[in-house]
Amino acid sequence: MQHQYRVGWWTYALVIATGLVILAPFAWMVATGVMTTGQTLQVPPSIIPAPTTLAGTEEVFDRIPFLTLLLNTILVSTGRAIFTLVVCSMAAYALAIIKVPGSQVILILILALLMVPGDIFIVPNFAIIASFRMTDTLVALFLPSVFDVFGVFLLYQFFRGVPRELVEAARMDGASHLRILTTIVVPVARSGVVSLAILTVLSEWKDLLWPIVVNRSLDKLTLGPGLALLRGTYTTDWNVVMAAGVMAALPMIVIFLILQKQFIASFARSGLK
Amino acid sequence: MIGYLFLIPLLAGLLVFRLYGFGYNIWLSFMNAGAFGAPKFTGLDNYRELLSDSQLGIAIINTFKFAAISVPGVVLVSLLLATLMQYRFRGESAFRAIIFLPAVCLPTAIILVFGWMFQTQYGLVNAAIQAIGAAPVSWFGSANGVTVVVSLLVVYLSFSVPTIVLYAGMQDISPDLYEAATLDGAGPLARFFNIMLPLLTPSLFFVILTTTIGTLKLFDVVYLLLPPVDQSVSMNYGLTLVYYYFYLAFIESGQRGYAAAVSLFLLVLILAVSVILLRVQRRFVHYGEDG
């Protein structure tokens, strides 16, 4: 349908205008991050920081254990993605490929659970994690989220598209279900698996409520809640906060730019219901 | 039999963190429970408190106010961006990447930079307002100011996924329809309102439903903009249902039983809004012959 859209000067005007509006907060974050605290207190503010300084960046490492927070974020989102993929792909295999008796009932249960917001479970889940004596651990950050009904449903739809002949041929050859899952179904449905991995990592990366509930010590937190601690009670050194914001946002933005196609496909699939 | 083994991890997890969790929440909602000590049974007291709690009323009004402003905002912004994505122009891939930046950036960083831009004394927004000769606004000191900043942030943080959903919906519309309409003399506006919008209603409905539910669960924006130190502000102008629930359960931690009742109220509210939207959908959403 593209051919009937003629690109005029106003298309460029709109694209540039919206693009700049979206970029403006990022630009201001970077600009503030290389200012001195004094520069952030100018009235009116100077838009272009001159001279630029990395003092704010250095200050970040003095105030919060930034590298620990970053490492925690990476560990927790990787751990959550791995466990989610294992739990969800096994369940989706049982429902879509083996089609165990009662699959329909379980699918309806899964669809019903999709409607229930996870946020209402923070008090009971905190009590459960506390009874396991697991508060203030990295595992506590992702354990309740790996039993992901959305993930099961997403993979179920992809696994259903796997040709039956492939699975049956492998069964004839005596392959176990676990082997078929890992060597046939997952590779054939890999775009669904990749999407679930991306959406899971992003969701952990962005989570704020559950981490601040379950983990109190700073060295067991992720970047999202950790960064918030840089804000002062009465005054805030915004150059320090913004320098930390840039550093914390950068890793995922770089990963996104590398895997742009897969990310955008995943976002489109998060609307698959 | 092996099939059920494959389901065990999922079902065991759901049993603990969802089924038991849900039962625990219901049980707790009949208790007077603090952070320490054994909960005491109080019957329907927590539910009676739901009816008379003015803070809860504020949280409900705020939550709906934020949703009422930001959901149309998200729909309009994502419609505009999805339409722009249809065009082929130079720099198109860069534009696409920019559209998704807010969805991949750490929300805390975005929320904090908005807090900085709208800072009363040294913020960029007030500087711009003063440059055109108007009086600076105390963005976090008034209900309207907070509503503006929160709604802008919600739109900014949530337009990316709706944009790609609407874009995919637009791609599914057959070009023949536009051509036929053009031959019949329909201009761009007529094509937009008579062809694209009706055929886009399934995607639009999905966007409205997910954005509405997302906004009803709003927490990170208000928590980070209005931290629970200055209670007069955070507990009024920016108080949302999830923020209130979190506050009752973990900050003023004497009230976990009541917090459980609030969370069940939130669940009922979200389910009710979903059902209402699904009913509206049946009347207005156009699913083609094969849909």
- Can you list the positions of beta strands (E) in chain A? none
Q: According to DSSP H, which parts of chain B are helical? A: 2-14, 21-28, 45-52, 54-86, 92-104, 107-117, 124-131, 143-158, 160-171, 175-183, 188-191, 197-216, 220-225, 231-234, 241-246, 256-284
Enter the ipTM. Answer: 0.93
How far apart (Å, rounded) are the C-alpha atoms in residues A91 and A87? 6
Residue of A nearest to B98 (CA): A19
* Mean pLDDT, rounded, of chain B: 90
Contact B7 A123 (CB under 8 A): no
Instruction: Mutation target for A interface from B105, B209, B246: give the one with most A CBs within 10 A.
Output: B105
- Answer yes or no: are the C-beta atoms of B108 and A248 closer than 8 Å: yes
Structural domain includes residue B278? yes
Asked, for residue B77, whether it belongs to a domain, the answer is: yes
Q: How many CB atoms lie within 10 A of CB A153?
A: 20
Tell which wins on pLDDT, A126 or B284: A126
pTM: 0.93
Is the CB of A46 inside 8 Å of chain B's CB atoms? no
Q: Quick: pLDDT tens for B237-246.
A: 889 999 999 9
What is the predicted pLDDT for the residue at B74? 98
Q: Which domain holds residue B256?
A: 44-284
Q: Does residue B49 lie in a domain region?
A: yes
Q: What is the rounded CA–CA span in Å between residue B276 and residue B281?
A: 9
Asked if residue A262 belongs to a domain, the reply is no
How many domains does chain B fold into? Answer: 1
**Nearest CB to B109; choose among A3, A44, A249:** A249
A20 with A99, same domain: the answer is no
Rounded distance between C-alpha atoms, residue B210 and residue B216, angstroms? 10
Q: How many CB pairs under 8 A join A and B?
A: 277
- Residues of chain A short of pLDDT 70, as ranges, are 1-6, 271-273
| Together in a domain, A50 and A80 | no
Q: What's the CATH number where A118 sits?
A: 1.10.3720.10
- Which of A11, A22, A73, A266 should we substitute to test contact with B (largest number of B Cβ atoms within 10 Å)? A22
With vertex at residue B252, the alpha carbon angle to CA B248 and CA B258, rounded to the nearest 5 degrees, is 35
Average pLDDT over residues B11-34: 93
Per-residue pLDDT, B234: 63
Residues A163 and A207 reside in one and the same domain: yes
Give the pLDDT of residue B180.
Answer: 87
Residue B32 included in any domain: no
Say how many domains are in chain A.
2
Q: Are A166 and A251 members of one domain?
A: no
* Any domain includes A19: yes
Tell me the pLDDT tens digit for each residue of A67-86. 999 999 999 999 999 999 99
pLDDT 10s digits, B125-179: 999 999 999 999 999 888 999 999 999 999 999 999 999 999 999 998 888 888 8
A139 within a domain of the structure (yes/no): yes
Q: Does some domain include residue B290?
A: no
Partners of residue B131 in chain A, C-beta under 8 Å: 44
Cβ contact A11–B89 (<8 Å): yes
Check CB contact under 8 Å for A87 and B9: yes
Taking an 8 Å cut-off on Cβ atoms, the answer to whether B96 and A264 are in contact is: yes
Integer angstrom CA distances of residue B110 from A252, B30, B47, B65, B225: 13, 39, 37, 22, 11
Identify the domain containing residue A12 by its residue range.
1-63+230-257
User: Which CATH number fits the domain that encloses residue B188?
Assistant: 1.10.3720.10
pLDDT digit string (tens) for B65-79? Answer: 999 999 999 999 999
**Contact A237/A56 with Cβ under 8 angstroms?**
yes
